[in-house]
């Protein structure tokens, strides 16, 4: 008997509705772990895959390594069948495989897809007929169809190919960009619409059905490339507007104008304006990176994304701008940066999260050290900062009781735990990059 497209999709959706479908999520980080917990809340049996055995062991012991996710949530998920593993052979037992791995830039600001390609090569030998593979990692348009699909086909010993319709044997592939916003407690994850693009109508229908079990709305688009471009547009929109206010901040400082006052006034307009705020640079996994992913891909089409690249460059230059302001502020107090003691407040890339990815604070620390300063930091979310892809600090968080010992305190991340009036009172000099000291009057404050 020939199985029709409708028969297959109905069977797949039935397995979702009855929670018989098993879901595997690769990458138990800031995207993958929250996603796994969402599926677990809906009573799916979830397997979390990660190559870091420390994470796997922590999860299987009922613990969490992400501050905003308490261990009790992991334990509750375990009671519903959640487990973690580094054994990719278990992929063969999974119905839906969702890939949530990093996509950083290399030293030349070009896309580094090694996490994706290594993951797909690890998955390919175990892919089964009828299995759905979904990529969530932010990347340039074309990655899903030009990179992921060929690697799956080349690495599968059974010779399975991509199935573009439900009448064909093979595996299904889709792309759905993650839309995580760490630290945002005002919007529930399930209320964020889920964009989905499939390699064919069957994959699109299946992926939409999967996400429809945990999100209140799915947004189908015509292709994986359209979904990939959607994510880039969202983040480049933010990148460009933040670059705009970062550049205006530098101009306003020369003109003696408070840009934050200007923004507060402008945002009273009920149409045509959205407020963005300047800072010491951009952090996180997406916004600092996405412009360079798109500009790299655009060159294959003989197109220069000059406007977008300029925005990326403006934001990359902000830590240097901060350090120059530290030098100038100390010079006005007859103090050289070389040999001075500097305390950087906050190493997370934004307020009230435990995420170091692409944090401008780390760049500021390294630049200050290169200038000869003795640099320490404080962050309530990081007792120690060791070595990462782009930093090698090996520093321990310093007590705020020691603020009077430092020649300068740089507010790099405006955590809500900080008592800024106390910091200003104790510090000899405060360089505020976040307008965290708004409303506090002191000759010791330099805002940049």
**Is-contact 181 187, C-beta < 8 A?**
yes
Tokens 């397997």 locate to 47
Which residue in 388, 425, 413 sits closest to 102, CA to CA? 388
SS3 category, 106: coil
| CA dist., res. 173 & res. 371, Å (int) | 50
Pick the catalytic residue from 100, 286, 408, 448. Answer: 286
- Please give the helix or strand (H or E) that residue 324 lies within, else none: helix 318-331
Please report the beta strands in 333-427, taking only residues with DSSP state E, as ranges in sequence order: 341-345, 374-378, 384-387, 392-396, 408-411
Residue with tokens 């020691």: 402
Cα distances (Å, whole numbers) of residue 163 to 60, 128, 222: 35, 12, 16
CA 428 to CA 448: how far, in whole Å? 17
Answer yes or no: 286 catalytic. yes
For residues 100-114, b (16+ Cβ closer than 10 Å) or e, as one string?
A: bbbbbbeeebebbbe
Question: From CA 234, how far away is CA 196, in angstroms rounded?
Answer: 15
- Asked whether 257 and 245 are in contact (CB, 8 A), the reply is no
The residues, any chain, with a CB within 8 Å of residue 302's CB and separated by 6 or more, are none
Asked whether the beta carbons of 247 and 314 are under 8 A apart, the reply is yes
Q: Are 263 and 275 in contact (CB under 8 A)?
A: yes
CA 66 to chain centre: 13
Task: Show the tokens assigned to 439.
Answer: 């409303």
Give the residue among 115, 199, 33 at the shortest CA–CA distance from 123. 115
User: Which residues are part of the catalytic machinery?
Assistant: 286
């Amino acid at each position: 008997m020939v199985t029709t497209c409708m028969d297959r999709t109905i069977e797949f959706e039935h397995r979702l509705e009855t929670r018989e479908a098993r879901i595997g999520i690769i990458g138990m980080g800031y995207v993958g772990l929250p996603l796994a917990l969402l599926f677990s809340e809906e009573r799916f049996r979830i397997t979390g895959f990660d190559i870091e055995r420390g994470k796997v062991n922590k999860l299987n012991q009922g613990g969490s390594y992400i501050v905003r996710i308490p261990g009790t949530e992991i334990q509750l998920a375990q009671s519903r069948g959640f487990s973690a593993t580094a054994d990719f052979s278990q992929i063969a037992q999974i119905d839906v495989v969702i890939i949530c791995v990093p996509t950083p830039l290399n030293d030349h600001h070009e896309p580094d897809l090694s996490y994706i390609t290594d993951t797909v090569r690890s998955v390919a030998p175990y892919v089964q007929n009828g299995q759905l593979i979904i990529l969530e990692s932010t990347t340039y348009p074309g990655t899903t169809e030009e990179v992921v699909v060929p690697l799956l086909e080349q690495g599968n010993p059974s010779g399975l190919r991509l199935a573009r319709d439900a009448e064909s044997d093979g595996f299904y592939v889709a792309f759905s960009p993650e839309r995580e916003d760490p630290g945002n407690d005002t919007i529930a994850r399930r209320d964020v619409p889920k964009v989905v693009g499939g390699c064919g109508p069957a994959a699109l229908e299946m992926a939409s059905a999967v996400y429809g079990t945990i999100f209140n709305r799915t947004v189908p688009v015509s292709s994986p490339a359209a979904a990939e471009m959607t994510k880039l547009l969202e983040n480049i929109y933010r990148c460009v507007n933040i670059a705009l206010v970062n550049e205006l901040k530098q101009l306003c400082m020369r003109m003696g104008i408070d840009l934050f006052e200007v923004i507060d006034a402008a945002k009273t307009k009920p149409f045509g304006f959205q407020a963005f705020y300047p800072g010491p640079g951009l952090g996180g996994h997406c916004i600092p990176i996405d412009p360079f992913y798109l500009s790299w891909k655009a060159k294959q089409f003989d197109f220069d994304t000059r406007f977008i690249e300029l925005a990326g460059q403006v934001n990359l230059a902000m830590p240097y701008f901060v350090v120059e302001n530290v030098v100038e502020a100390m010079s006005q107090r007859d103090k050289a940066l070389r040999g001075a003691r500097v305390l950087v407040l906050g190493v997370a890339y934004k307020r009230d999260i435990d995420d170091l990815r692409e944090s401008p604070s780390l760049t500021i620390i390294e630049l200050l050290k290169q200038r000869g300063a003795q640099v320490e930091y404080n962050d309530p979310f990081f007792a120690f900062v060791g070595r990462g892809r782009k930093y090698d600090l090996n520093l321990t968080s310093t007590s705020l009781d020691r603020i009077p010992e430092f020649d300068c305190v740089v507010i790099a991340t405006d955590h809500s735990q900080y008592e800024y009036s106390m910091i200003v009172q104790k510090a000899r000099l405060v360089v505020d990059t976040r307008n965290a000291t708004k409303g506090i009057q002191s000759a010791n404050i330099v805002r940049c």
